[in-house]
Amino acid sequence: MAAKPFSRRTFLKAAGVTLAAATGDIFAFNDWLAKAKAAEVSKIPSICGTCSAWCGMWIYVKNGRIWKATGQKQHPASKGKLCARGHAGIMWAYNKDRITHPMKRMGDNWFEPISWDDAYSEIAAKLQKVLTDYGPQTVFYSQNAKPTSRYYMQRFMHAIGAPTIHSHHSICSTARDVANKWTTGAMATADMANAKCILFLGRSYADGISPSATANLADARERGTKVIIVDPRYSSSCILGDQWVPIRPGTDLALLLAMAHVLLEENLYDPDFIEQYTVGFDEFKKTMLSYTPEWAAGITDIPAETIRTIARDLGKNRPASCIEQGYKAPNGANYVNGTQTFRMMICINALLGNYGKNGGMKFPLNPKLGELDPKQYPVPPKPKVPRCDGVGIKGEYPLCQTSQGIPHLMPKKAMEGKAKAGFIYSFNPARNSPDPKLMVDGYKKLELLVVCDIQWSETAMAASYVLPECSFVEREDLPTGIAGGKPAVTMRCQAIDRIHSQTKPFEEIVTGLAGKMGLQKYFDFSREEVATAMLKPLKLTTEDLRQKGTIVLDGKAKELSFATESGKVELYCKAFADNGYDAVPVWQPPLANAGKNSFVLIHGKQGIMSHTATANIPGLLQIAKNYNLERIWINPAKAKRLGIKDGELVEVSSPYTSKQVRVKVTERVHPDAAFLPAGYGNLSPWLKTGYGFGINPNDFCPHRVEAISGHAMMMEVVVTIRKVGE
Ligand code: SF4
């Protein structure tokens, strides 16, 4: 984006007092240090807000400033540790690029400060006009859900009669989640502590980090668990595995079909589990027997004997063996065959009979939280109009989850005139979805786009109004339940005072806007009242959580059951058949195939970045710069053919764009794949730290929607790479 989003001089004039106070405080480090040495330390429980693992953390505060953070031992995701992003993320509060004032678009790429009251009034008037002129089906809300935002914004959307609520999953795990919903009814997780053999497809605990999962992987290895990692790239997790199996990008479904063939042909499956808990075994078996390892070897580039060995390793260790459920990689939002790839992972876990067994797949227990008494606090009725993203609608996206929707489709719907107003919270689809130009152009077609964030994301820069939330260390949130072997409950507490007086916690923003819309009756309560009601069935209070942070609850494992239409694992899925999809997974090739001199562009996380959101944290970006983490990986065999040497500047081109970046030539990537990290390439110039560093895989990929679960197919693109200057 070439132009500035607003006049810096105008903004500084308007917000001068606030900024002067804040920056004076930030940079008076020596004064602070002297005081800090003598100061008492307070320790406040919080939830890390730097990625969606939501680790429990303790924030230590001296003299009103954050001193350090540690992981809560009892929290299932942190287990006493935080990753680098968690340690750096607590400093987001002090970032000089924060949005410190409500802002209004005055023209193309031009924003001016506006008072909260005027912002509420203008947004309410514009929203009311959209509702009157076009109806509530044209209004959407997209979020990277947080405990408080989920609660307040669902009420708000229902209060205006609008059903289209999104999470971020259509660019993440929606294929996994849709496959689970229709095959087993719910998400199960791998029992790493007891597994004898575990297969990872693309999922890398050491790159898409949660501290406890990475520790569990290391422990499993110590215990002698066989850990097999199938991935086009030697990920950071491979050092903890026994075997890295490089695979051609987008072909994991072929591997799984052939593995099922081996398990069935060699009687390495559990007939009792199949008999008691599954439907459609005969159709499934008939289909699988046509997919031999020799057939799959030609597609996956994995030798047939290796495929047989992997299947046997799992089959012989059943039921204490499993395929770990990742969230992206081959079974997430990346390939056209992602939903069926995930169905196959589930079907193989079912063949192993591992559901509910030690070392297999276990359904986590959820704590049951309470609600406000609806007699005292009226609940808005559920909307009656259809969604504007087609989710749940026959002929459009009938099987996609209504709890997730298709947020990246909204700009296209805006271009078609089917979406007219949107709210986006703590989510950056304009940068984290393919085709950023289409995303921004579409958002700008809306009559109203309100973005709530703490920094000038690419999505914020496309908004009509930008409302600044206070950062996660400056606010308290509603409690949230944690599902697991033992359920738990936790709450983020406020660690420091608000640094910028014109930022607000989300519930205050929604309540203020609801007031202007005449919807006070649905918000006539405090956050404390909601939190108290949520904790009541657990016989806990908010004070308990303010003291302890996370509390682990008792929970007894339930009898094994599957919440599908048949009540069983659907090896043959009737809902798929009814909607014209393959009821038993069959081979579906990826759309993108590498040629002799081209590559499928794959991407993935690095342990120090959460998409592009963290690239503006100076400490993290410095690590990336020090270690050249922005480079594109290619295999030496192809590099040699193309005359490219390690460290050289190359031009990466797809039919949609060309960009330059340095290259890492490494045996750690399959020759058909070029790997780009997903965390760089910020386009917003007001993210001054991250702007201009690296390139982003989404620039090379077209905007698409997969048919079954509605994901973005983010790795279905072929690129060419040439040395710059040639
Ligand atoms: S994994 Fe790291 S960034 Fe994510 S919540 Fe935990 S500490 Fe924070």
Comparing CA positions, the residue from 500, 455, 437, 449 lying closest to residue 474 is: 500
Kindly tell me if the per-residue pLDDT of 26 is higher than 80. no
Q: In this structure, is residue 58 part of a structural domain?
A: no
Model pLDDT, residue 29 = 78
Q: Whose Cα sits closest to atom 8 in ligand 1?
A: 86
Pick from 17-21, 160-164, 250-254, 617-621: least confident: 17-21
Regarding the beta carbon of 82 and ligand 1, being less than 6 Å apart is answered: yes
- What spacing in Å lies between the alpha carbon of 145 and ligand 1's midpoint? 15
Confidence of residue 556 (pLDDT cuts 50, 70, 90): confident
Output the residue whose Cα is nearest ligand 1's atom 6: 55
Residue 113 lies in a domain: no
Alpha helix positions (H), 517-563: 527-535, 542-548
Does the beta carbon of 51 sit less than 6 angstroms from any atom of ligand 1? yes
Confidence of residue 17 (pLDDT cuts 50, 70, 90): very low
Q: What is the model's pLDDT at position 725?
A: 81
Q: How confident is the model at residue 23 (pLDDT cuts 50, 70, 90)?
A: low
* Whether residue 617 has its Cβ less than 6 Å from ligand 1: no
Whose tokens are 């002698």? That residue is 224
pLDDT at 423 over 70: yes
* 611: confidence class by pLDDT, cuts 50, 70, 90: confident
Give per-residue pLDDT as tens, 168-215: 999 999 999 999 999 999 999 999 999 999 999 988 999 988 899 999
CATH number at residue 316: 3.40.228.10
Q: Are 83 and 211 in contact (CB under 8 A)?
A: yes
Could you tell me the distance, in angstroms and rounded to a whole number, from the CA of residue 393 to the centre of ligand 1? 36
CA-to-CA distance for 158 and 283, rounded, in angstroms? 43
Ligand 1 centroid from CA 91, angstroms: 14
pLDDT for residue 726: 62
User: Distance between CA atoms of 697 and 431, rounded to whole angstroms?
Assistant: 10
Q: Considering the chain, what percentage of its residues have pLDDT values greater than 70?
A: 96
Cα–Cα distances in angstroms (integers) from residue 287 to residues 160, 308, 577, 583, 584, in the given order: 48, 18, 15, 11, 7
Q: What is the pLDDT of residue 9?
A: 43
**Which residue's alpha carbon is at the smallest distance from atom 1 of ligand 1?**
210
**Is residue 658 assigned to a domain?**
yes
Structural domain includes residue 205: yes
Within-domain flag for 346? yes
Q: Which residue has the higher pLDDT, 125 or 556?
A: 125
Angle at 565 between CA 562 and CA 567, to 5 degrees: 35
Q: What is the DSSP string of 324-383?
A: ---SSGGGSSSSTTHHHHHHHHHHHHHHTT-BTSTTSEEPPB--------TTTSPPPPPP
Per-residue confidence band for 25, with pLDDT thresholds at 50, 70 and 90: low
| Alpha-helical runs (H) found in 524-617 | 527-535, 542-548, 574-578
Mean pLDDT of the 583-612 span: 95
On the 0-12 / 13-18 / 19+ scale of CB atoms within 10 A, 34 is exposed
pLDDT band, residue 439 (cuts 50/70/90):
very high
pLDDT at 38: 80
CA of 286 to the centre of ligand 1 (A): 44
| Residue in this structure with the two tokens 């007219």, named with its chain if needed | 420
pLDDT tier, 435 (very low <50, low <70, confident <90, very high otherwise): very high
Q: Tell me: the pLDDT tens digits for 557-590? A: 789 999 999 999 999 999 999 999 999 999 999 9
3-state secondary structure of 321: strand
Average pLDDT estimate for 457-484: 96
At 648-671, the pLDDT tens digits run 999 999 999 999 999 999 999 999
From the CA of 669, how far away is ligand 1's center (Å)?
A: 27
**Residue 10: pLDDT band with limits 50, 70, 90:** very low
More confident: 556 or 637: 637
pLDDT tier, 19 (very low <50, low <70, confident <90, very high otherwise): very low
Dist CA 58 CA 39 (whole Å): 18
Last residue of a domain, one of 307, 334, 363: 363
> Of 363, 386, 408, which one is at a domain's C-terminal end?
363
259: in domain: yes
* Pairwise CA distance, residues 315 & 263, whole Å: 6
Give percent of the chain above pLDDT 90.
Answer: 89
- CATH number (domain holding residue 683): 2.40.40.20
Boundary-marking domain end, from 313, 330, 363: 363
Q: Are 707 and 409 in contact (CB under 8 A)?
A: no
pLDDT of residue 420: 98
Q: Closest ligand 1 atom, CA of 53?
A: 5
> What is residue 108's predicted lDDT score, i.e. its pLDDT?
77
For atom 4 of ligand 1, which residue has the closest CA? 51
- Residue 127 covered by a domain: no
Residue 545 lies in a domain: no
Confidence of residue 3 (pLDDT cuts 50, 70, 90): very low
φ and ψ at 459, to 5 degrees? -70, -40
What is the pLDDT averaged over residues 304-326? Answer: 96
Contacts (Cβ under 8 Å, ≥6 apart) of 685: 1, 4, 5, 691
Asked if pLDDT for residue 318 goes beyond 80, the answer is: yes
CB 127 within 8 Å of CB 29 = no
* pLDDT tens-digit series, residues 672-716: 999 999 999 999 999 999 999 999 999 999 999 999 999 999 999
Sequence-ordered list of residues with C-beta below 8 angstroms from that of 177, at least 6 positions apart, any chain: 169, 187, 401, 404, 709
Q: In this model, does residue 4 exceed pLDDT 70? A: no
How many distinct structural domains can be found in the chain? Answer: 2
Chain-wide mean pLDDT for the chain? 93
Positive/negative CA dihedral, 188, 191, 195, 198: positive
Domain that includes residue 635, residue range: 598-723
Tell me the per-residue pLDDT of 57-78, one tens digit each, with 9 for 90 and over. 999 999 899 999 999 999 999 9
